[in-house]
Amino acid sequence: MVTQMYQVSTLQALTKGDFYGNCTIGQLLTKGDTGLGTFKDVDGEMIVLDGVCYRAKADGTVEVAQEDDSTPFASVTFLNKSLSFQLTKPIRMNKLLDKLDMQVKFKGENNIYACRIDGKFAEVYARSEMKQQEPYKPFADVLATDQREFDFHDVSGSLVCVYFPKYMDGLNMAGWHVHFISDDRTMGGHVFDFELNEGVVHLGETSGFAFMIPDTDHFHSLKLQEVTKKDIEKVEKAK
């Protein structure tokens, strides 16, 4: 089965500080069972896994999101697991993403992909952020003061990863975007780095892209073309 990637709004808009709820979690889960994003007021990092939406809060703990919660930005799909392979030796994040990139080059670099990696981790370095209030600041300014970082050690869990091609940079982040949740669903966040001891990778390609444009005066007034690649890197990568 080949499925499409469904996205709420754009990463450019989130970078600009559009933290309004554009889609309910109940609506989002009709579009996919695997994915990531954030919540209204950027109140935590989103992990969608096995059809359940989780919120990784500013202290790194996790709760199940409610159906009437909402998101300003998210990407979800029904993961088709068209390719699976085992990882039997310790590997850092950059080396594992290199392996995924090799599969992307073989399958087609201009497609969109989702990936789930289940395994045992020596370490996961992650972040979340504190809930914001209006008037919203640009996301980079939020992270400068309200980002919270944590190291999880000796933990079993899952990585949820989405890949967007270079020509879609801005709508989302080109390359891989990775979130984590522990098997016991108590720890999670946006991932900066990890060391995986062993695990299994499930990679799925998509057949298309569906994009929800927010119908709000705030979104329509944003100058999205002003957002640069450097601006996006500030909100997606470690300091």
pTM of the model: 0.97
Q: Which two tokens stand for residue 238?
A: 């470690």
Q: Which two tokens stand for residue 163?
A: 């890949």
**Confidence (pLDDT) at 3:** 86
**46 within 8 A of 71, measured Cβ to Cβ:** yes
Q: Which two tokens stand for residue 231?
A: 């601006």
| Residue 60 reports pLDDT greater than 80 | yes
Strand partners, 121: 155, 196
What's the whole-number mean pLDDT along residues 226-235?
Answer: 90
Count the helices and strands in the chain (H runs, E runs): 6, 14
Burial class (CB in 10 A: 0-12, 13-18, 19+), 226: exposed
**Can you tell me which residue has the tokens 């470690």?**
238
